[in-house]
Amino acid sequence: MTQTQNCQLILALDLETRAAAFAMLDRIGQSLNWVKIGLQLFTAYGPDFVRAVADRGYHVFLDLKLHDIPNTVAKSVQSIAQLPVELLTLHASGGAEMLEWANQARADHAPGLNLLAVTVLTSMNAAQLHALNIKTSPEEQVLHLAGLSLGAGVQGLVCSPLELPPLRQKYGPAPIIVTPGIRPAGSAVHEQKRIMTPRAAAAAGSSYIVVGRPILQAPSPAQAAQAIQAELFGNADA
């Protein structure tokens, strides 16, 4: 399966401060369209930070990985519906009822918002799953949680790029699939366990790839972002 023409790059804006984040966006400019805001910056600076990033013309992926009782998660989705957010994460392991309540809140308050169920974190491998008394492989657990999540009505998934082929084979092109754990050739792996290059992830069916440090730590973040997008579209050697 080749879906490179549909795959988009999301910058993981995982920095310590608002000032550092905006300095990075000044350097990035319009070399990419999507920015992921994670728990650290959202906890520090809140909804106003989300609005400020969106005001710069970026699409916002809010990566909070919500996981609580169904009513609390639904109310959180209702609150986030007031923000210029287009993608929002919640944990698939919260269960079908939590996911269903969240999706109903989305439908009622922000039908343009897409919910993404996080399956197995890309920092986890089989040994870590087994330590949690999950005896299946990462791929089997991802497929299980994907079925639960899509059955509950959410619009997409977050998973390692290594699970893309079986997911696309089973569920086809409709679900949004966002893949962190992307490392351009020659980049440091850091704590990621299950990784893939941008072109390979796009070819396997990723809707969006998430890249952080290979862009944030590059001498020219804008050039790094452009190079990754060139690779996505088959204009660079992989």
Q: The tokens of 230 are what?
A: 């060139």
- The residues, any chain, with a CB within 8 Å of residue 7's CB and separated by 6 or more, are 201, 202, 206, 207, 208, 209, 232
Q: The tokens of 22 are what?
A: 């905006």
Closest CA to 163 of 151, 148, 149, 146: 146
Name the residue with tokens 């639960």: 148
Q: Which of 36, 65, 75, 170 is catalytic?
A: 65
N- to C-terminal Cα separation, the chain: 17
**Is 65 a known active-site residue?**
yes
Q: The tokens of 30 are what?
A: 């319009």
Geometric angle at alpha carbon 35, from 231 and 124, rounded to 5°: 75
Q: Catalytic residues, which ones?
A: 65
